[in-house]
Amino acid sequence: MSTRPKKSLCVYCGSSPGNDPAYAEAARKLGRQLAEAGIGLVYGGGSLGLMGEVARACLEHGGYVTGVIPEFLIRKEIMLEGVNELVVTANMHERKMTMFEKADGFCALPGGIGTLEELVEVSTWAQLGQHVKPIILANINGYWDPLIELIGHMRDQGFFKSSQEVRFDAVTRIDQVIPMFEKRLKIRRQPTWTPDELVRRF
């Protein structure tokens, strides 16, 4: 795929593979599925860990990959060669904004504090009404359960008003990510949630 697709999904994930082989397997599957669906991948530009897994799988199956990496991380995260589009930014803030602008939605695979920070920031922007792009939590083997519990605790303790729900969808299987992405794009995040959806609402 040499031309940029009409839709792109930004994937936040770790620059390490993690201890559970299921994380890397999920990253590879998502990369392949994005390519097969004709959806572009926007990611952090590195070749290590889950970042490298999802990007290489997407490229290997003919997908379009946009890597966005700050200059100071080029050597540390070992920038992936061969992506369709590479954007080198001056700093982390520019990186995050570039990824946001190039993506039609977001998915968080397992990762560390950087992945968490990216997820929380884009979720905060949605909470404050700054965008309506889909946000999907790939809760592989319960990785994000502690975060889901924490958000519930915040709500129970009165730190979310009814108009400030954290609007992301948690899925447990990687093959649910693209259907959820497509579904949310169609309805543009209208507040119509039904019990038959495989969705966790916060």
Whether 150 is covered by a domain: the verdict is: yes
The pLDDT assigned to 196 comes to 38
CATH number at residue 164: 3.40.50.450
With a cut of 60, say whether residue 189 has pLDDT above it. Answer: no
Q: What is the 3-state secondary structure (H, E, C) of 85-120?
A: EEEEECCHHHHHHHHHHHCCEEEECCCCHHHHHHHH
Whether 16 is covered by a domain: the verdict is: yes
Whether 41 is covered by a domain: the verdict is: yes
Q: Which domain holds residue 143?
A: 8-187
The pLDDT assigned to 136 comes to 97
Whether 3 is covered by a domain: the verdict is: no
As a whole number of angstroms, the distance between CA 91 and CA 1 comes to: 29
- 98 vs 163, higher pLDDT: 98
The pLDDT assigned to 73 comes to 86
With a cut of 90, say whether residue 165 has pLDDT above it. Answer: no
Whether 171 is covered by a domain: the verdict is: yes
How many structural domains is the chain composed of?
Answer: 1
Whole-Å CA distances, 67 to 52, 90, 103, 190: 10, 14, 12, 30
Provide, rounded to the nearest whole percent, the portion of the chain with pLDDT above 70: 90
Whether 39 is covered by a domain: the verdict is: yes
Whether 201 is covered by a domain: the verdict is: no
The DSSP-derived string for 8-47 is EEEEE--SS--S-HHHHHHHHHHHHHHHHHT-EEEE--B-
With a cut of 90, say whether residue 128 has pLDDT above it. Answer: no
The pLDDT assigned to 184 comes to 93
This prediction has a pTM of 0.89
On average, the pLDDT of the chain sits at 89
The pLDDT assigned to 163 comes to 60
Whether 153 is covered by a domain: the verdict is: yes
The pLDDT assigned to 116 comes to 97
User: Which of 101-115, 119-133, 168-182 shows the lowest mean pLDDT across its residues?
Assistant: 119-133
Summarize pLDDT for 8-62 with one digit per residue, the tens.
999 999 999 999 999 999 999 999 999 999 999 999 999 999 999 999 999 999 9
With a cut of 60, say whether residue 95 has pLDDT above it. Answer: yes
